[in-house]
A = this chain, B = another copy of it.
Amino acid sequence: MRIVALAGGIGGARFLRGLQHADPKADITVVGNTGDDISLFGLRICPDLDTVMYTLGGGINEEQGWGRAEETFTLRDELAAYEVGPSWFTLGDRDFATHIVRTQMLEAGYPLSAVTEALCDRWRPGVRLLPMSDDRVETHVVIEDDEGRRAVHFQEWWVRLHAAVPARSIAAVGAEDAKPAPGVLEAIEAADVVILPPSNPVVSVGTILSVPGIRSAVAAKTVVGVSPIIGGAPVRGMADACLTAIGVRTSAGAVAEHYGADLLDGWLVDTADAALAGDLGGITVRARPLLMTDVEATGEIARAAIDLASELRA
């Protein structure tokens, strides 16, 4: 089975591990969000791509869900001793090596897709990992606090401010002019099913879909999504803060409607949202436990998504 998944960071990566567990023979292409990417210390950092790569490649810090296992922080401390910031974005020594290799390749002229492929030569994640675009797209957030109204990089809002300051608006800067990375549209067109993992529907999946050409290519396929909202709250992360910013209620049903029936064919919601099961304006909604407590449980969620997609294609 040929599967394409549009993935953000932690939630997406954990779901993908379940997907591999559910169908070890599946040919999986992951289109990763790059709107979270940021340049720090002169190095290009791609948090979502790295989280997928480390998670599927066995290098992830399992407890926190991002960053490397057995990490050390010598560089962070040294940079602080030089009073070079920012200090709010934690980078470990092992992780730094990834960013050094990536930056060196980017500066040598390789596109991000080629760089990602080279990094995956080491990690062998068992999926084809593609950035959504080789062009730079950066998610910026307009906030307003004591310092006034201003746009900040998504990471500053998310990591430094913990999304505690309300977002007035969220924009994927550069998306309009971005092109899908080589292989993205081809993989979607060749896919039997496109899966939307329980990633952030605004700043992860939404950003990927904002790259011209991707949404229409996805909409032409059988698409099944897994709700990141359970019982009116995000399973993890702060997706509610993003949904509020774009005027969407934090509910499994509202997120499905936000994706739209033109895009989504099937939608898995948690048993807490079982009332939604059935038909939701053309979207087939099915309820089952959605907590990704371990690989087994996550595999069963992924299995249910594949099964629903197969049914909808038939």
Contacts and interface: CB of A to CB of B under 8 A. Distances in A.
A43 interface: yes
A104 interface: yes
Contacts of A122: 81-83
A159 interface: no
A153 B172 CA distance: 44
Contact of A74 (B72, B82, B101, B104): B72
Nearest to A74: B93
A97 B72 contact: no
Nearest to A106: B42
Contact of A79 (B72, B97, B103, B121): B97
Residue of A93, A97, A103, A104 with highest tally of chain B CB at under 10 A: A97
A107 B74 contact: no
B42 A104 contact: yes
Chain A at the B interface: mostly helix, strand, loop or mixed?
helix
A190 interface: no
A78 interface: yes
Interface residues on A, range: 20 to 34
A199 B78 CA distance: 29
A122 B77 CA distance: 13
Contacts of A93: 72, 74-75, 78, 93
Contacts of A74: 72, 74, 93-94, 97
B72 A103 contact: no
Interface in A49-94: 72, 74-75, 78-79, 81-84, 93-94
A82 B101 contact: yes
A75 B97 contact: yes
Interface string A100-114: 110110010000000
Given A81-B122, A82-B98, 20 more contacts: A41-B100, A41-B101, A42-B100, A42-B103, A42-B104, A43-B100, A74-B74, A74-B93, A75-B93, A75-B94, A75-B96, A75-B100, A78-B93, A78-B96, A79-B101, A82-B97, A82-B101, A84-B101, A93-B93, A96-B96
Interface of A: 41-43, 72, 74-75, 78-79, 81-84, 93-94, 96-98, 100-101, 103-104, 107, 118-119, 121-122
